[in-house]
């Protein structure tokens, strides 16, 4: 989930640095930008927010020489909202661009930097009349076509449709009460769907060598980015980088970088149910391991929505970045 106030603080802090250094810039205003600024204007915690982000922004600025260029086109600030509606290619909320220098980086400020997105898998829509089922529709998302441009196999659709049909006997029951029954939630729905995904994902990636890169681009975006995550109880801000293309820390006039490049994944090595801290096997999370040290987790959850009915979705997150990726933390500015 995006933290609107922290995004706004980062924007304010970045503009503050640019103006102090005399660096020309322009803001591309859109709905996301206006939402962030509205949240800022209505906040009574501006000073605290700036204490959280200023030291991190100072650290990032030291790693990005292109940020300080005065000649050429103005630095452009662009903004993404929760649905990445400005630019599907960007995971970050704030985009910094110099098109004349072929330079673009992102800054992501979410409540949990590990969370990438949610992805709907299937829905079961039910029409009831006088407590009788009139119509049911199973809508199964073709995640293969959506992510890779490669349709999922008939086997996958058959597997998920069969799982949806098992719910038929419970159509007239209260969904909120059913969700309290772990045997139903996990044994009937979540774990079987994750098994179907675990069979389908390797199949697609094995038959289409470019699929792992499409997979990565879909979830991480096509711009390298920094992320920051303030930790209130420690009064520090943790930072990190996702830099598989070498777009961060570029040094003008050379091929060298101030930020380590993490190799973009090209192969899916393993898919299995995740293991907990005490060795227990998860019932709701599968872990995908790629070459280059990349790991991605899919956690399934169920919900009841007006739009989709009984909905089955995945929370996609990155438990770790590859070994050698930039990570750091800074103390907040002192309170005056």
- Are both 185 and 305 inside the same structural domain? yes
How high is the pLDDT of residue 121? 78
Q: Do 273 and 164 reside in the same domain of the chain? A: yes
Which are the contacts of 222, defined by CB distance < 8 A and separation ≥ 6? 89, 90, 245
The closest alpha carbon to 315, from 302, 326, 306, 328, belongs to: 302
Range of the domain at 181: 116-213+265-317
- Cα–Cα dist 30/216, whole Å: 27
Residue 151 is assigned to a structural domain of this protein: yes
Do 105 and 242 lie in one domain? The reply is: yes
Whether residue 276 sits in one domain with residue 156:
yes
> Same structural domain for residues 163 and 281?
yes
Predicted confidence at residue 234, as pLDDT, reads 94
| pLDDT value of residue 219 | 82
Which segments of 183-308 are extended strands (E)?
225-231, 236-242, 268-275, 281-290, 295-305
Q: Enumerate residues 6+ apart whose C-beta is below 8 A from 266.
A: 209, 212, 213, 290, 291, 292
Tell me the pTM.
Answer: 0.82
Residue 146 lies in a domain: yes
336 within domain boundaries? no
Per-residue confidence (pLDDT) for residue 67, from 0 to 100: 93
- Exposure string over 202-236, b if 16+ CB within 10 A, otherwise e: ebbbeeeeebbeebbbbebbbbbbbbbbbeeeeeb
Total number of domains in the chain: 2
Q: Are residues 202 and 296 in the same domain?
A: yes
For helices 211-220 and 191-207, angle between their N-to-C axes, nearest 10 degrees: 120
**Would residue 35 count as lying in a domain?**
yes
Handedness of CA 245, 249, 255, 261 (dihedral sign): negative
147, containing H or E segment: helix 143-147
pLDDT of residue 127: 42
- Looking at the structure, do residues 278 and 159 belong to the same domain, yes or no? yes
Give yes or no: residues 185 and 246 share one domain: no
Q: Are residues 197 and 301 in the same domain?
A: yes
- DSSP state letter for 322: P
Answer yes or no: do 187 and 307 share one domain. yes
pLDDT along the chain (336 residues), means of 10: 84 95 94 92 94 94 92 91 58 89 89 69 53 50 87 91 78 68 84 94 91 84 88 92 91 90 88 88 92 89 58 75 84 81
The order of strands in the sheet holding 236-242 is 25-27, 75-79, 94-98, 103-108, 225-231, 236-242, 327-331
């Amino acid at each position: 989930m995006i933290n609107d106030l922290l995004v706004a603080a980062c924007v304010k802090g970045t503009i503050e640095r640019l103006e102090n250094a005399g660096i020309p810039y322009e803001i591309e205003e859109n709905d996301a930008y206006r939402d962030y600024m509205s949240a800022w204007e209505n906040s009574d915690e501006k000073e605290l927010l700036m204490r959280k982000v200023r030291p991190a922004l100072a650290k990032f600025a030291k790693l990005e020489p292109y940020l300080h260029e005065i000649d050429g086109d103005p630095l452009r600030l662009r903004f993404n909202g929760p649905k990445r509606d400005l630019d599907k290619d960007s995971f970050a909320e704030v985009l910094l661009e110099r098109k004349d220098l072929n330079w673009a980086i992102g800054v992501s400020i979410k409540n949990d930097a590990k969370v990438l997105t949610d992805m709907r898998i299937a829905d079961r829509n039910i029409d009831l009349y006088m407590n009788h089922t009139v119509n049911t529709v199973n809508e199964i998302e073709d995640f293969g076509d959506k992510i890779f441009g490669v349709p999922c196999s008939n086997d996958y659709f058959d597997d998920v449709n069969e799982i949806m049909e098992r719910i038929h006997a419970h159509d007239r029951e209260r969904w909120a009460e059913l969700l309290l029954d772990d045997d139903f939630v996990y044994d009937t729905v979540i774990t079987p769907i994750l098994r179907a995904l675990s069979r389908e994902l390797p199949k697609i990636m094995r038959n289409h060598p470019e699929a792992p890169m499409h997979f990565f681009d879909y979830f991480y975006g096509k711009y390298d980015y920094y992320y920051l995550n303030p930790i209130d109880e420690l009064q520090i801000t943790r930072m990190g980088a996702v830099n598989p293309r070498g777009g961060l820390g570029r040094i003008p006039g050379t091929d060298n970088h101030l930020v380590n490049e993490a190799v973009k994944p090209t192969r899916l090595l393993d898919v299995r149910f995740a293991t907990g801290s005490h060795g227990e096997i998860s019932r709701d999370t599968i872990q995908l391991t790629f070459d280059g040290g990349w790991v991605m987790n899919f956690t399934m959850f169920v919900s009841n929505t007006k739009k989709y009915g009984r909905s089955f979705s995945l929370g996609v997150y990155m438990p770790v970045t590859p070994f050698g990726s930039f990570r750091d933390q800074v103390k907040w500015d002192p309170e005056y």
